[in-house]
């Protein structure tokens, strides 16, 4: 197949609560320029994928709250390729909807799905790995691209492979594993046979939909019916009627795990500078500049200085044209936005979600 | 004398750099509602002093940058009682100007001078002590009101008295002492003969001006000439010509210390809940409410919550309608204002001035 025959799907959802107050339910991280350039994560994802496909074959699945932002950030994307979910139904529904719509438009197409909020530094290596994975997908496998782990990360799920991973060499995936403990993560890293699951999937739409039909008809049947009405005047009515009936389930759990157990899943390990922009530690590491013992990250409109005096281990994220000044503090994350400021110990960066929960509980939904 | 014969002077200057970013050169602390009510420190000072005098006998000495704010915050104050310095010339010049203007308007009057940015909780006790001090001033002494110390404070100057202080009982001041070390401050507290110098002075204007003429003619002579032109059409010309020649010196150094050495200074010790709103520790202690292990202070427009989760020893000062959220931090001062946010270890609260110096050095004068 020619590379431009590939259909690409980008599920753009999730509010990124570990990046609050930068990332918001109404303005999530994929819309922010967390890329080191003025392009948003979503735009950088588009830039990376567009050469693998064409705008006509690239679909974004997103929620009603973000449809207009997606449309404006990606003016090259045809409107009919922005699939808007009335409300979130987890990853299986989102990916299945895209697969079913593609199947209607181009039966038996190879599709690939990539998150909207990941950063990849080596685009050439990425494209090469995708090329290998496309071959497996065309042969009828459910393909993933697994990331060669560089540390015993406890924040990601893992793929267990049949043998130690070699970049670019396809092999079977035996199991999907949830986020491990630190001890287990260290074992995974040592064994060499585990890869990070970056939710990168490639398959023929007919193969995936057949697997889905066999395992989860409760997802498959309404989604196929919605897809048949898509691009017609019946779209809204059918979507409104059937979408609420679609169960919320992750695609790993619904399809990939059982399929792996039956030997239908393979992976191509990749090593192309992949980063999940999931927390402020990563934001500081990737996008910060070292100033006076601190990592300073500037996102969006600037115009006032960030001062760190006698600080160590400070990550300061400036998202508004205001002064941030710290004096004599250590191991803190300070994030300043237009309407909220966060001061968090670095040891607690994974618990920021607790703050958004509290804000919701107390009725301050505008700030979540 | 009747209490309303007293003339009262309020020097309203200084930028309060230890309260940055709340206090600014252009919007200093005395203009802020750091009183637990919606009255500013200046307004609360006026409210406290007005019963001791009348608005016609109350003068505010301030700088050009704050004259309009003073005029608007104190609409009861006659315009001619706002003495505007073209630029700051330290406390001796400010107080001497007021004394000389009062001497022109009411020769031999008793005047009292009180800072614009102090808080006093027991107004009745304060007024009683002032009454005692007025008696000494009428007799021709240079009077001070010394504050009975409650802790070995290193942030204030001290008065050394002739004997252990008894509230309300007048006695001689032997010496003015600069801010002491912690060790020396503990000695002072133990001896009982030291009082805090709160820069509260009372004297007959003719007595003070004669002392000033004898000791500092370089201050006295131009100030008297300016005062003679005050309230006339020559005011601006004479002020513009002579004010730049007035030396910068503190009134304690220029007059009170040498006068004390000659037995001309006395004090009435006072104990009326006096507080210098000088740093965020004091602001937190006096104006904060205890919430979730933190002292939360709200100044000015509010509308968004302050969340302190798993925090200890946090002082959070909210001066803007924005969320402040802290997670897992201890012993921090967090101050949020419209255009700047400060995160400072409590051990470093006395060094905040360093930040304003840095901002000036780097040209960010709008934020100082």
Q: What are phi and psi of A49, to 5 degrees?
A: -95, -25
B347 contacts in A (CB within 8 Å)? 328
Q: How far is B310 from chain A (nearest CA, A)?
A: 10
Q: How far is B344 from chain A (nearest CA, A)?
A: 5
**Is the dihedral angle over the CA atoms B155, B121, B117, B350 positive or is it negative?**
positive
- Considering A162-176, B191-205, B284-298, the range whose residues carry the highest mean pLDDT is B191-205
Strand-strand pairing, A340-345 and B323-327: parallel
ipTM: 0.85
Enumerate the domain spans of chain B.
Answer: 3-276, 282-351
Q: What are phi and psi of B188, to 5 degrees?
A: -55, -50
Confidence of residue A270 (pLDDT cuts 50, 70, 90): very high
Token code pair at residue B12: 């309203």
Rounded CA-CA distance B151/B166 in Å is: 17
Token code pair at residue A163: 């043998």
CATH superfamily, region B3-276: Spore Coat Polysaccharide Biosynthesis Protein SpsA; Chain A (3.90.550.10)
Q: Lowest mean pLDDT of A226-235, B291-300, B330-339, B347-356, name the range.
A: B291-300
- Residue B244: CB atoms within 10 A of its CB come to 11
Chain B contacts to A (CB-CB under 8 A)? 21, 304-305, 307, 309-310, 321-329, 332, 334, 336, 338-345, 347-348, 351-352, 354-355, 358-359, 362, 364, 367
B343 contacts in A (CB within 8 Å)? 324-327, 329, 332, 334, 343
Mean of pLDDT values over B5-23: 92
CB contact under 8 A, B324 and A343: yes
Confidence of residue B302 (pLDDT cuts 50, 70, 90): confident
**CB neighbour list of residue A90: distance below 8 Å, 6 or more residues apart:** A248, A249, A250
User: What percentage of residues in chain B have a pLDDT greater than 90?
Assistant: 90
- Residue A93: CB atoms within 10 A of its CB come to 26
Mean of pLDDT values over A36-60: 95
Mean of pLDDT values over B294-318: 92
A334 contacts in B (CB within 8 Å)? 341, 343
Q: Are A265 and A141 in contact (CB under 8 A)?
A: yes
Q: What is the pLDDT, as a whole number, of residue A350?
A: 87
Rounded CA-CA distance B46/B31 in Å is: 12
**CB neighbour list of residue A191: distance below 8 Å, 6 or more residues apart:** A164
Rounded CA-CA distance A27/A368 in Å is: 10
Give the bridge partners for A297, in sequence order. A317
- Residue B283: CB atoms within 10 A of its CB come to 26
B367 contacts in A (CB within 8 Å)? 304-305, 323
Measured between CB atoms, which of A309, A354, A367 is closest to B323? A367
- Chain position carrying tokens 């002491």: B180
pLDDT tens-digit series, residues B223-247? 999 999 999 999 999 999 999 999 9
Measured between CB atoms, which of A305, A324, A354 is closest to B309? A354
For helices A217-229 and A205-215, the axis angle rounded to 10 degrees is 130
Cβ-count burial of B128 within 10 angstroms (0-12 exposed, 13-18 middle, 19+ buried)? middle
């Amino acid at each position: 197949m020619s590379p431009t025959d590939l259909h690409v799907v980008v599920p753009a959802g999730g509010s990124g609560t570990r990046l609050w107050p930068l990332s918001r339910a109404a303005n999530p991280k994929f819309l922010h320029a967390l890329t080191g350039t003025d392009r948003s994560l979503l735009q950088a994802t588009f830039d990376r994928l567009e050469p693998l496909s064409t705008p006509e074959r690239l679909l974004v699945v997103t929620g009603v709250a973000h449809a207009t932002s997606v449309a404006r950030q990606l003016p090259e994307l045809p409107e009919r390729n922005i699939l808007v979910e009335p409300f979130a139904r987890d990853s299986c529904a989102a990916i299945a909807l895209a697969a079913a719509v593609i199947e209607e438009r181009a039966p038996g197409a190879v599709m690939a799905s990539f998150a909207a909020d990941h950063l990849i530094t080596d685009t050439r290596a990425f494209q090469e790995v995708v090329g290998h994975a496309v071959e497996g997908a065309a042969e009828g496998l459910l393909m993933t691209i697994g990331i060669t782990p560089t540390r015993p990360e406890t924040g990601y799920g893992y793929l267990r492979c049949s043998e130690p991973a070699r970049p670019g060499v396809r092999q079977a995936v035996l199991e999907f594993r949830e986020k491990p403990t630190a001890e287990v993560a260290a074992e995974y890293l040592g064994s060499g046979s585990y890869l990070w699951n970056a939710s990168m999937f490639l398959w023929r739409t007919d193969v995936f939909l057949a697997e889905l039909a066999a395992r989860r008809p409760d997802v498959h049947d309404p989604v196929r019916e919605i897809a048949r009405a898509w691009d017609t005047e019946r779209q809204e009515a059918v979507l409104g009627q059937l979408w609420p009936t679609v169960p919320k389930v992750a695609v790993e759990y619904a399809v990939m795990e059982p399929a792996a157990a039956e030997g239908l899943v393979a992976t191509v390990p990749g090593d192309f500078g992949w980063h999940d922009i999931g927390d402020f530690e990563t934001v500081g590491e990737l996008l910060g500049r070292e100033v006076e013992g601190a990592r300073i990250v500037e996102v969006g409109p600037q115009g006032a200085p960030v001062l760190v005096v006698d600080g160590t281990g400070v990550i300061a994220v400036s998202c508004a044209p205001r002064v941030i000044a710290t004096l004599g503090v250590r191991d803190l994350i300070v994030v300043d936005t237009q309407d909220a400021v966060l001061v968090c110990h670095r040891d607690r960066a994974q618990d920021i979600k607790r703050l958004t929960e509290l804000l919701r509980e107390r009725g301050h939904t505008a700030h979540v």
